[in-house]
């Protein structure tokens, strides 16, 4: 949100409020790319091995 100047007045809001603001303010394609990037940076996200088999 900060990257797009949409963080004013919502920095201490709930995740639900932040998600709603992002969905209402960003184009769908941009929102999809941001979500994808965030998920890919997570260590234990889907697509990565859960155990060493």
**Tokens found for residue 10:** 């919502």
Token look-up 């949100």 returns 1
Question: CA 52 to CA 29: how far, in whole Å?
Answer: 35
**Coil/strand/helix, residue 36:** helix
Task: Kindly report the pTM of this predicted structure.
Answer: 0.60
Between CA 24 and CA 36 the distance in angstroms is 18
pLDDT above 90 for 43 = no
Residue of higher predicted confidence among 32 and 48: 32
Q: Mean pLDDT throughout 19-26? A: 88
Tokens of 5: 């100047």
Q: Could you tell me which residues come within 8 angstroms of residue 18 by beta carbon, excluding any fewer than 6 positions away?
A: 1, 10
């Amino acid at each position: 949100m900060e990257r797009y100047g949409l963080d004013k007045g919502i920095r201490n809001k709930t995740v639900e409020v932040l998600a709603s603001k992002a969905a209402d303010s960003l184009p769908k394609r941009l929102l999809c790319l941001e979500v994808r990037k965030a998920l890919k940076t997570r260590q234990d996200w889907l697509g990565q091995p859960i155990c060493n088999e």
